[in-house]
Amino acid sequence: MSRPTIIINDLDAERIDILLEQPAYAGLPIADALNAELDRAQMCSPERCHTTW
């Protein structure tokens, strides 16, 4: 089964990254899973990323 494409703006990705580095979340399996998803995401600038939904 293929995974859907993830597109996120780099500002939001950085914000999530900062949250995941907090001691309360660091090392949790769900945080590791979210990090893995962010690693495979396509990044774009906030100005160029826009939703159609």
Q: Report how many domains make up the chain.
A: 1
Is 0.85 surpassed by the pTM of this model? Answer: no
Structure tokens that stand for 13 in this block = 């990705």
Per-residue pLDDT tens over the stretch 12-42: 999 999 999 999 998 899 999 999 999 999 9
Per-residue confidence band for 47, with pLDDT thresholds at 50, 70 and 90: confident
DSSP type of residue 2? P
Q: Is residue 53 part of a domain?
A: no
Domain span including residue 33: 7-44
List all residues 6 or more positions away from 17 whose beta carbon is below 8 Å from its beta carbon: 35, 38
Dihedral sign (CA 21, 32, 39, 6): negative
Give the CATH number for residue 36.
1.10.286.20
